[in-house]
């Protein structure tokens, strides 16, 4: 009995010492860096967010004076708020936040502002105006570009006709509503266009879009165009149509245009077009460094979109080394 207890005690002590030593040695590095910048990301298990992280890390590698800390909110508001609180405690020189939801992150962003940390809000906005800068794409703009092209595909202005399936992102997220509104600014003017589904959400996911599309295909003899709020959903719809043997009759439009995702799909001829929604990763970090170096920055930076079709897809893939 005694020996067993001693063994236990020894094991626990050893474990304690190692952990402490490991943790203590961990923060000895990177003390010579000039700026410590924290970035709170929502999640990493989503292609666009992964690209986002890739972009910001690539940009950070170009700036040896910057130490970049990236946290993962695991797609939970609670976790992301805790992450930002942690970054504030670590006294970062600048804070980059890409909020999961506007309302949920507003409080903690305000807290960072109160702690005199410059805050750069990326991609999704918060409900306060005191932050340093907002960098993000304009979903409405992209929706408009998609809508304009859809009208063109369906027969041109004033004559466009056809049955359209629109697969929403999330009903609770602003990007989905913006992508919807922008799209309908163009397609809404065409009396020939009929919408088959009433606000079906695929939650940005390929598998859910597949199921929505499979049902739509069963219920409708004729579908001319599918508008997915992102590429994975457009591709999910494409797969459903392919399994039903009807993919040739339908045009598929997606959004986001990631090189290894949307662009590749367009290049393969599976999607008709996609519209880039550039991640604000690189630009956001550049702006933050600019601000830390004492330069003035604008309040809002809107990132442009690009239409990707079969014509320019191959070139873009080549530029990205794919």
Residues 6+ apart with CB under 8 A from 248: none
- If you count DSSP H runs as helices and E runs as strands, how many of each does the chain have, helices first? 11, 13
Quick check: 181 binds other proteins (CB under 8 A)? no
Show the binding pattern over residues 281-310: x = contacts other proteins (CB under 8 A), - = does not. ------------------------------
Show the binding pattern over residues 41-80: x = contacts other proteins (CB under 8 A), - = does not. ---x------------------------x-xx-x-xxx--
CA-based radius of gyration for the chain:
24
Stretch that binds other proteins, among 47-55, 100-108, 190-198, 234-242 (CB under 8 A): 100-108
CA 21/CA 13 separation, integer angstroms = 12
Residues 6+ apart with CB under 8 A from 296: none
Angle between helices 231-243 and 206-219 (to 10 degrees): 40
82, 292, 297, 317: which one contacts other proteins (CB under 8 A)? 82
* Least distance from other proteins to the Cβ atom of residue 8, Å: 7
Quick check: 10 binds other proteins (CB under 8 A)? no
Beta-bridged to residue 121, according to DSSP, are 97, 134
Number of residues that bind other proteins (CB under 8 A): 50
* Least distance from other proteins to the Cβ atom of residue 165, Å: 17
SS3 content of the chain, % helix, strand, coil (to 5): 50, 20, 30
Quick check: 125 binds other proteins (CB under 8 A)? no
Number of Cβ within 10 Å of residue 247's Cβ equals: 17
Give the interface with other proteins as residue ranges (CB under 8 A).
1-2, 4-9, 11-12, 16, 19-20, 22-24, 26-27, 44, 69, 71-72, 74, 76-78, 81-83, 85-86, 88-91, 101-104, 106-107, 127, 168, 170-173, 199, 201, 203
């Amino acid at each position: 009995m005694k020996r067993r207890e001693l063994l236990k005690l020894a094991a626990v002590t050893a474990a304690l010492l190692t952990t402490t030593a490991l943790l203590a040695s961990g923060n000895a590095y990177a003390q010579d860096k000039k700026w410590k910048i924290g970035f709170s990301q929502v999640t990493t298990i989503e292609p666009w967010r992964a690209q986002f992280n890739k972009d910001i890390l690539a940009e950070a590698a170009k700036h040896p004076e910057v130490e970049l800390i990236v946290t993962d909110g695991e797609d939970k508001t609670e976790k992301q708020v805790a992450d930002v609180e942690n970054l504030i405690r670590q006294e970062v020189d600048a804070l980059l936040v890409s909020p999961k939801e506007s309302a949920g992150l507003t409080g903690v962003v305000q807290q960072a502002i109160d702690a005199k940390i410059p805050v750069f809000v990326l991609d999704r906005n918060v409900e306060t105006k005191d932050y340093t800068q907002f960098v993000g794409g304009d979903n409405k703009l992209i929706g408009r570009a998609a809508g304009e092209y859809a009208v063109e595909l369906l027969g041109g202005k004033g004559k466009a006709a056809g049955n359209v399936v629109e697969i929403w992102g999330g009903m609770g997220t602003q990007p989905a509503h913006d992508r919807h509104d922008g799209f309908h600014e163009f397609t809404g003017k065409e009396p020939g266009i009929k919408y088959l589904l009433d606000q079906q959400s695929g939650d940005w996911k390929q598998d859910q879009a597949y199921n929505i599309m499979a049902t739509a295909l069963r219920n409708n003899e004729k579908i001319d165009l599918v508008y997915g709020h992102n590429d994975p959903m457009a591709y999910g719809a494409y797969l459903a149509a392919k399994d039903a043997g009807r993919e040739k009759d339908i045009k598929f439009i997606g959004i986001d245009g990631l090189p290894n995702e949307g662009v590749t799909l367009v290049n393969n001829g599976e999607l008709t077009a996609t519209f880039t929604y550039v991640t604000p990763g690189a630009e956001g970090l550049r702006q933050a460094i600019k601000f830390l170096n004492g330069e003035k920055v604008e309040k809002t930076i809107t990132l442009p979109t690009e239409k990707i079709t079969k014509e320019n897809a191959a070139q873009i893939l080549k530029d990205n080394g794919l």
